[in-house]
């Protein structure tokens, strides 16, 4: 049997509902690519309509916190800070592998959103599932040991996971890793095995979640910089360090990442709605990067607040 050529991201987008003409419009629609129109590389959304978009087994409407955080509620928060596009992240607790609501949001607003979805990395056909979702705006996939109740230490070992990494190299769909620092060596090994696969580390690999930014953990993260397809989200400030504005204690860690990865492989993100709860707020999150990093140039700022996320998630 003669094998067909692998489907690339461009091929899939041409074939699906997000045709190239529509994608191209994203660069000009509503000023999305203008120099002051930023991209939030990481936000969750969910509707209060649990009948239309059912929750995963064991979750009820009473578990939603807040009770609703729909895409229009998100945009009402981000637009005052000149954020026009957002990468929507599948919420494993509420919807796990059912990406329906995020896909619906992209269907309604194809210029505005892209998706980091989820597929079952332990099931057969994970690569085919990735390709099926690509034309629907899913340009990355969340992978994490936190959803594994049994043997979480083997989260990267399954054939389905390896199929995902192999497929990502073909389709340019990124592996977006929600991990703790101790999982970084395993990701390092996967990057060695699949050097062409785009990889994004979420939330500094949660370094600083206990209030301490340890040098040995930062070194594990900066070691990944030698893999040219690997990027890091500088995000979730509400959960790190002092866990309250103005988040200035995170700047030394950002500087170390800047010095190793460079601005082209760092991307700011809020992790809303969690960044807008309690003492924290959206403006403080974007302000840390936009207003307080005195070591970056104006062009660097464009990369951190727009162009890095655009390259990984919005490029055709």
Residue of higher predicted confidence among 12 and 53: 53
Residue 236 lies in a domain: yes
Residue 295 lies in a domain: yes
Query: What is the helix (H) or strand (E) element at residue 74, kind and residue range?
Result: helix 71-78
Under the banding of pLDDT at 50, 70 and 90, the label for residue 2 is very low
Residue written as token pair 């991201």: 9
Q: Is residue 163 over pLDDT 70?
A: yes
Q: Give the chain's domain count.
A: 1
Amino acid 28: pLDDT: 38
* pLDDT tens sequence across 272-286: 999 999 999 999 999
Listed residue (168, 180, 172, 185) closest to 220, CA to CA: 185
The span from the CA of 189 to the CA of 199, in Å, is: 12
Q: What would the two tokens of residue 126 be?
A: 């994970």
% of the chain at pLDDT higher than 90: 85
Amino acid 4: pLDDT: 35
Residue 14 lies in a domain: yes
DSSP secondary structure string, 207-218?
A: TTTTS---HHHH
Amino acid 149: pLDDT: 83
For 214, the domain range is: 9-314
The span from the CA of 207 to the CA of 241, in Å, is: 9
Residue 2 lies in a domain: no
43, 88 contact by CB (below 8 A)? yes
Residue 4 lies in a domain: no
184, 211 contact by CB (below 8 A)? no
Amino acid 22: pLDDT: 45
Read off φ and ψ for residue 138, nearest 5 degrees. -90, 100
Under the banding of pLDDT at 50, 70 and 90, the label for residue 7 is very low
Listed residue (213, 97, 197, 87) closest to 144, CA to CA: 97
186: exposed, middle or buried (Cβ count in 10 Å: 0-12, 13-18, 19+): middle
CA 236 to chain centre: 11
Amino acid 27: pLDDT: 40
For range 243-266, the mean pLDDT? 98
Q: What would the two tokens of residue 93 be?
A: 């607790």
Lowest mean pLDDT among 1-5, 68-72, 126-130, 253-257: 1-5
Residue 1 lies in a domain: no
For range 227-249, the mean pLDDT? 98
Amino acid 238: pLDDT: 98
% of the chain at pLDDT higher than 70: 88
Under the banding of pLDDT at 50, 70 and 90, the label for residue 211 is very high
Strand-strand pairing, 138-143 and 174-177? parallel
The answer to whether the bond into 66 is cis (omega within 30° of 0) is yes
86, 74 contact by CB (below 8 A)? yes
* pLDDT tens sequence across 16-53: 544 433 443 444 333 344 456 999 999 999 999 899 99
* pLDDT tens sequence across 107-152: 999 999 999 999 999 998 999 999 999 999 999 999 999 998 888 9
User: CATH number of the domain that 77 lies in?
Assistant: 3.20.20.140
DSSP summary character for residue 69: B
Amino acid 3: pLDDT: 31
Mean pLDDT rounded to a whole number for the chain: 91
């Amino acid at each position: 049997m003669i094998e067909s050529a692998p489907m690339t991201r461009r091929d899939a987008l041409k074939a699906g509902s997000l045709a190239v003409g529509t994608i191209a419009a994203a660069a000009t629609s509503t000023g999305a690519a203008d120099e002051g129109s930023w991209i939030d590389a990481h936000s969750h959304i969910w509707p209060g309509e649990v009948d239309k978009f059912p929750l995963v087994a064991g979750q009820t409407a009473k578990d939603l916190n807040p009770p609703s955080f729909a895409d229009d509620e998100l945009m009402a928060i981000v637009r005052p800070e000149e954020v026009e596009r957002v990468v929507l992240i599948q919420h494993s607790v509420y919807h796990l592998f059912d990406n329906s609501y995020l896909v619906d949001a992209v269907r309604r607003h194809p210029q505005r959103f892209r998706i980091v979805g989820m597929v079952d990395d332990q099931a057969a056909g994970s690569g085919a599932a990735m390709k099926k979702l690509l034309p629907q705006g899913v340009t990355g996939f969340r992978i994490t040991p936190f959803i594994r109740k049994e043997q979480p230490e083997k989260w990267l070992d399954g054939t389905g996971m390896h199929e995902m990494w192999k497929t990502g190299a073909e389709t340019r769909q990124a592996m977006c890793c929600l991990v703790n620092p101790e999982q970084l060596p395993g990701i390092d090994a996967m990057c060695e095995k699949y050097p062409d696969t785009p990889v994004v580390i979420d939330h500094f690999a949660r370094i600083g979640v206990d209030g301490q930014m340890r040098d040995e953990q930062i070194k594990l993260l900066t070691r990944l910089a030698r893999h040219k397809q690997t990027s890091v989200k500088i995000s979730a400030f509400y959960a790190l360090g002092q866990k309250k504005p103005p988040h200035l204690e995170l700047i030394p860690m950002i500087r170390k990442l800047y010095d190793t990865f460079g601005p082209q492989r760092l991307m700011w993100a809020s992790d809303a709605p969690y960044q807008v709860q309690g003492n924290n707020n959206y403006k403080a999150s974007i302000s840390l990067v936009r207003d307080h990093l005195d070591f970056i140039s104006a062009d660097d700022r464009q990369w951190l607040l727009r162009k890095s996320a655009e390259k990984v998630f919005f490029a055709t």
